Amino acid sequence: MVTGKKQGSRKRQDRRKSRESSRSQAIRKIEIAAGSTHLEKSGYLKSRLLEEAAMKVKPDIRLIAIDLDGTLLDQDRKISQENKAAIAAAKDQGVLPVLTTGRPYPGMVGYLEECQLMEEGDYCITYNGAMVQKTASQEILRKHTFTKEEIQSIADLLADLDLPMSAIGMDTIYESNPPQGKPSYYRDMQPLLPVVENVAVKDLEDIAKIVSARPQAEIERALAQIPQAYQDHFTIVRSRPNLVEILAKGVDKASGLNMLAQELQIKPSQMLAIGDMGNDASMLTYAGIGVAMGNAPEAIQEISDYVTKSNQDHGVAHAIQKFVLKWKQA
């Protein structure tokens, strides 16, 4: 057990400031016992201790942020009946499920319909937090896009890394000329979006994110070579093993949730976030309870409060039952 020596860490202090409810205060004590900061905690120990805390303290969850790929969706990109039933039950209990994804809106609207999250009062977060909108009316509450200078800067970076570039607009994928023999795989990941090829970088506008999809080894090599100046100026996340995404600085899933929290007057401590990859890390540490999927990489599990079952074993339903339905039905 880690003692109070680490209690002075700045990361934990920042986290404490965002936790104000009595439930979150109890969980903070468990976190300190488990090893203080999120980046230093053992995922297994945290899961065990948080489970012990949850048995004693009633969570006050008002919103559930749910990632799609690798989380709500199984390996065949399907939503299990168990997951759909848990989402519906949570909504019936007055808890707001919010699909929170890196996908553009057209690439996830079918899942909103399947989960019956297209009604008045429903929301979604897309483009890894760059856009927040109401699903029934499609009214946009937040939209963050690149400047032309930023687009050119990212294009230069990807060219230096020998990676193809896919610029994602509001409903279209724009591809500039890829390196010879290295086409982008992103169009295959989002088959519902139309693709415009050979677009000049200078003609790109209204772009929410820029991605590159290639074999995992190429992505890992490229990530290791990104200059610090770019990392300081942009948000760069790995949302799948073979996909790197670049967004404007300060744009991530946590920032999207923060905007929605202000809109709905919900505290971060009243949120449950469920995810599996690097682009989920910000919301897993922002929410009162961050849940990693059983199929998530170890680094993601270790920054989370609890590790649920895998996406093949209805891990979303398991987490909702444990932290929401169990208490609502009590």
Catalytic residues: 67
Rounded distance, CA 143 to CA 234, Å? 16
Q: What is the number of residues in the chain?
A: 330
Rounded distance, CA 323 to CA 308, Å? 11
User: Any idea what DSSP says for residue 187?
Assistant: H
Q: What are phi and psi of 153, to 5 degrees?
A: -60, -40
User: Three-state secondary structure along 53-65?
Assistant: HHHHCCCCCCEEE
Rounded distance, CA 222 to CA 212, Å? 10
Rounded distance, CA 148 to CA 166, Å? 15
Tell me the β-bridge partners of 123. Answer: 134
